[in-house]
């Protein structure tokens, strides 16, 4: 299913990613875990995709206004935004070099799960195959009905992907994708029940990251 995985074997230490369908709670956890790490005097850089930069902001406008771009164009825009996000000035690679823990809401797995359902997977995986992997990814798994109820309760307008049948496909893809990575790379995949209490999820992610930091300090 994902052919170009070998070229993607490099793993960035101290880089952690949150993934899940819309409404799964990744943004909530990004903010809560980052706050907790900060309170514990850990140097943390929190970030997200699509980014706040030029390409990411343009993408968000396209998503909320349901702009009719071809699916390949969407996949390429997400990858272009990611290129700047990882390698651009003052971005992920630099932040890691400066000794930060980097926690990111969505990464290339979103492209595989979302754009992979709209394009042929080979195309999407090939344009994402040069990005390094995080040390671990937290997959917050939740059913699409609960997710959409949560999305409906927020003020923000729905984006083009927030539709039940599509989110069901994306959820299934995530599972396949993460099983693939689990068995073919050293990246750790942590499955999290998205229906758990918000604070339980935060503690689980926080404790995992803290253990990794402690282990590294003792190496
Ligand atoms: N574990 C949880 N239990 C109950 N409600 C939750 C939980 N996690 C998040 N929520 C609520 O669900 C809503 C959506 O959460 P959040 O914005 O974090 O989701 P998201 O995955 O970032 O969504 P999107 O990808 O669409 O931006 C918010 O109102 C949030 O408070
Ligand atoms: C990075 C990335 C994101 N998406 C989609 C997933 C969401 O529907 C939107 C916006 O993200 P948010 O977390 O809800 O703010 O973008 C995608 O389709 N492909 C990607 O690579």
In this prediction the ipTM stands at 0.98
- Does the Cβ of 21 fall within 6 Å of ligand 1? no
pTM given for the model: 0.97
Q: How confident is the model at residue 218 (pLDDT cuts 50, 70, 90)?
A: confident
- Does the Cβ of 38 fall within 6 Å of ligand 1? no
The angle that helices 71-87 and 54-64 make with each other, rounded to 10 degrees, is 150
The answer to which of 1-10, 163-172, 175-184 has the lowest mean pLDDT is 1-10
pLDDT of residue 122: 94
Q: Is the predicted pLDDT of residue 162 greater than 90, yes or no?
A: no
Q: Is the predicted pLDDT of residue 9 greater than 90, yes or no?
A: no
Counting ligands in written order, which one lies closest to the CA of residue 114?
2
Residues touching ligand 2 (Cβ under 6 Å) are 22, 49-50, 63, 78, 105-106, 110-111, 114-115, 159, 161
Counting ligands in written order, which one lies closest to the CA of residue 113?
2
Mean pLDDT of 67-71: 92
Q: Whose CA is nearest to atom 10 of ligand 2?
A: 50
Candidate of 18, 72, 110 to mutate for ligand 2, largest count of ligand atoms within 8 Å of Cβ: 110
């Amino acid at each position: 299913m994902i052919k170009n995985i070998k070229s993607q074997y490099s793993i960035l230490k101290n880089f952690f990613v949150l993934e899940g369908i819309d409404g799964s709670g990744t943004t909530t956890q990004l903010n809560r875990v980052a706050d907790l790490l900060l309170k514990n005097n850990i140097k943390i850089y929190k970030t997200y995709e699509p980014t706040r930069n030029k390409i990411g902001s343009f993408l968000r406008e396209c998503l909320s206004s349901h702009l009719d771009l071809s699916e390949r164009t969407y996949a390429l825009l997400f990858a272009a935004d990611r290129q700047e996000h990882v390698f651009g000035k003052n971005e992920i690679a630099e932040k890691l070099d400066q000794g930060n823990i980097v926690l990111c809401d969505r990464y290339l797995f979103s492209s595989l799960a979302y754009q992979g359902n709209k394009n042929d997977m080979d195309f999407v995986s090939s344009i994402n195959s040069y990005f390094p992997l995080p040390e671990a990814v937290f997959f917050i798994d939740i059913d699409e009905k609960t997710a959409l109820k949560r999305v409906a309760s927020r003020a923000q307008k729905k984006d083009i992907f927030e539709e039940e049948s599509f989110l069901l496909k994306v959820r299934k893809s995530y599972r396949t994708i993460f099983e693939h990575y689990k068995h073919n790379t050293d990246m750790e995949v942590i499955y999290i029940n998205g229906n758990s209490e918000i604070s339980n999820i935060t503690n689980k992610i926080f404790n995992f990251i803290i253990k990794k930091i402690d282990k590294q300090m003792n190496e």
